[in-house]
A and B are shown apart, each in its own frame.
Chain A
Amino acid sequence: MNTCLKTLFLSIMMVLVCFLAMPSAFAKSSTILGSRSGQTQAEINACTDTTNYISSCSSAALYSTRNLFGTQTNSSSVYSAAYGFGHYYSISFNVGHGYYLSDWDLRGWPWQWHEHWQYRITADDGSHIYDCDIYDNSAYQNTNSHKFAFLWDCEQGDEIGNMITYPCGEVKARGMPLAWLHTTSLSSNGYSNPDGGNDTFIGFDGIAPWLSDPYLGVNESCKKFLHFFYEAALMDGYHNSINDALNVAAQSVWDVETFEGCFLDGGYYGGRMVVYGNGGRHISSVNGGGGGSCPTLFVWNGTNYAEEGLLNIHADSDITIRWNIKNTPILKNNFYSLKLKELDNFTSHVDQVKLYAIDKRDRLIMCPLVCADHSEFGDVTAKLLFNDEKRVNLTPTQSVNLRFLPRIPQDKISHFIFEINGFNQKTP
């Protein structure tokens, strides 16, 4: 009896732990910040419109959204935003005055004059929030989390940053990209050379323009730029990466072919917008075409399951999608190991999956599916082998581990293609 009770208690506890852990692991948060300190009324109005719009787009893209523009933009909310509220996916936006601070100091042995150089943004009450404090107060919870920070403030993209040891012995994180993303492994040009990583930072190297100004004759052009950017990136994030959204915004506001060379990319004196990290990332899986997304494919790369991307099987009935695998699949216990996860709030109905190895003579060679293990239903291999009416449902947070048999030696493989047959009606 005692054993039974213990087992029951343990089971309940495990379910509870899973229940509590899952939403946190896969939830998405969007924090919108903005300071009114030292701004004209026209600029405050433009910022209010913009933050409200970003908030709407974030909510539509199923982010847990906090619009903290105004009085709620303080050090505490900035730290929480940089922390991403502990969520696996987080995006943050901030608008307001930014500076760098050059502070000459004589403290500490050998008592030599030295410069402390840090970056800071402004809270709504006019107080300053420093990069080193943001770094210290936003400990990185999820090592594989995905972050996107967009700071519309002067100077906050001057450098990616680094951990600095000053001559006085003080060690501080310097640079807003490091403070918000907790990494310095970021491409210095995430627009032209996206690094393929999980994190992206957009800021300004030098001065940042006001949102209310009519640049190149277009009324409130930067406000419009942000509207189009977030609309494309969040409301049609399935099709638009961050870079695509920058292009769409530049096209829509100033009618230039790409973001490269537009007003914000060096079109004014004293500053330019910079993208660090992976501009090729998608921050939303929402398909502006009325559906799509889901499920997400992961590939075992030898150390972990690397995210490949969203497989668009949006349709009312089965469709087939082929995906060129970008990460190199590595054998795990003699099998290629892939994973399908439902990270969105919709259910995918998967009928068949295939993995092809393409050899160096461009021949497609199918690697047979030998095992499909559903996170809830267990072995579902038989249902995924054939294109029939037997489908596997992937509801939000569920996953299915797939193992495929290698057919040819790895050194003879050029790349892999994953094929999925099924549909997702994008209804909760």
Chain B
Amino acid sequence: MVKLDMFYSNRNKMFVVFSVVSFLVSLSLPCIAYSYAVPSTGSIITNFLEEVVGINMSRFSITSFSESDGLLSYSGSQTYVTVSDGHDEFNAQLIYVQGKLWYCTLNSASGSFGVGEKSLNECLSIAGRAVDRYQTIFNVSHLKDFAQMISIALQTQSLVVETSDALLNVSFAENGASYRNYAKINMFRKIDGQFITQFLDLAIHISKAGLVTIFADSIGVTRVSEGHVNTSMDTAVNIATPHIEDYASKHGQQLKETKATLYYVPDDNDRFTLYPVWSVEATFDKENEEGATGYCVSIRADTGNIQSQVPQGWYSSHGENDSTNIIWAFASITGTVAVLVGVQVLARRGVKTRRRRTA
């Protein structure tokens, strides 16, 4: 019995010693890199980060992942991913509209986008790979011609490639200063033979070390309305002018200059459908009591209807010189001079009077 007690006692001691030793040993061992359980969409995200963005996902692991639905007014959903290799950390934000990728932006939490400097050829290759892999991962094909244009740019070493309905433009950060957005590759679509630089383009920014820091595809999420430009510029100006003149006359202003610009812009109620709009802007000869220096009438170029009309101005376009002190100073100087001159005149008169009396 005593032996059994001793055995149990010893066993307890051994267990305690074993536990303590195990604990201490576990503390001294370097820990194994940890990875986060990625939700169902994780494979797409992982593929996108690896193949489009260019992060080596065999070295980096996802350490945080979250999604939000319908936050922004246009009902875009967002995914936030953080990847880390224990040393470098990147945050990627992906915005989707109706299930299609609109934007992906990559930021470095550790402050570094890597080392090295890519050449024009390497940047174009990275962009070409990104477009190609993006289309495969998201099962889309609307950027096929852009992929071909990148190949042409590679072959011809051109910074600009133009086709009948698209334009490719490559630019580098001035003096190579930007590590994050070192090379910018933009591709624009044409509508009615006109380049649309807003709302209908593909933008790929590449870091100096070759990571895709911005991948923005407006083309895939934006629809162009079927309405064509049926209203000419002159007609638009003629529609707008009476409204502009009416406002100007009510506020005692004269029309100085009028210009009309055609934009393809979203409607207030539909962020992802573009409509042609003539923006007729007039400037006046002077600022009125409301601070307005101009007037803008927006006219739908497909229907000829006025979309909006508003006076234009700025939140005060000039500073002020407070003249009160200057006036006061001039008044005081003038007053002092006048007094001095007066005293001198009186003094001379006094002298003259005394001389006369003496004479």
Binding site for B on A (CB under 8 A): 38-40, 42-43, 95-106, 113, 152-155, 204, 207-210, 212-214, 216-219, 227-228, 231-232, 235-236, 239, 244, 247-248, 251-252, 254-258, 260, 270-271, 287-290, 292, 312, 314, 320-322, 324, 356, 358, 362-366, 368, 407, 414-415, 417, 419
Contacts and interface: CB of A to CB of B under 8 A. Distances in A.
Nearest to B214: A257
Nearest to A407: B27
A99 B320 contact: yes
> Majority SS of interface residues in chain B?
strand
A128 to B, nearest CB: 10
A219 B31 contact: no
A314 B87 CA distance: 24
Contact of B87 (A39, A101, A216, A362): A362
Contacts of B31: 356, 364-366
B279 A154 contact: no
A214 B68 contact: no
A155 B216 contact: no
B303 interface: no
Contact of B298 (A219, A244, A292, A364): A219
B198 A106 contact: no
Given A231-B72, A235-B71, A40 B311 contact: yes
Interface string B213-245: 010101000000000000000000000000000
Contact of A101 (B80, B205, B218, B319): B319
A401 to B, nearest CB: 21
Contact of B316 (A155, A244, A290, A321): A155
A258 B86 contact: no
Interface of B: 27, 30-31, 33-34, 36, 63-64, 66-69, 71-74, 78, 80, 84, 86-87, 89, 93, 95, 103, 105, 109-110, 181, 198-199, 201, 203, 205, 214, 216, 218, 261, 263-266, 268, 271, 277, 279, 289-292, 296, 298, 307-308, 310-322, 325-326, 329
Given A252-B74, A356-B31, A321 B310 contact: no
A45 B214 CA distance: 36
Nearest to B26: A366
A210 B312 CA distance: 7
7 contacts: A218-B266, A228-B72, A247-B105, A257-B203, A322-B34, A358-B87, A364-B33
Contact of B66 (A254, A289, A358): A289
A336 B34 CA distance: 23
B320 A358 contact: no
Contacts of A287: 66, 68
A255 B298 CA distance: 19
Contacts of A417: 86
A290 B181 CA distance: 32
Given A40-B311, A289-B68, A105 B325 contact: yes
B290 A40 contact: yes
Nearest to A248: B72
Given A239-B78, A255-B198, A255-B218, A214 B310 contact: yes
B72 to A, nearest CB: 6
A365 B31 CA distance: 7
Given A153-B316, A407-B27, 16 more contacts: A40-B291, A106-B325, A210-B313, A214-B296, A216-B198, A216-B263, A231-B73, A239-B80, A257-B103, A257-B203, A258-B214, A289-B78, A314-B66, A322-B34, A322-B63, A362-B87
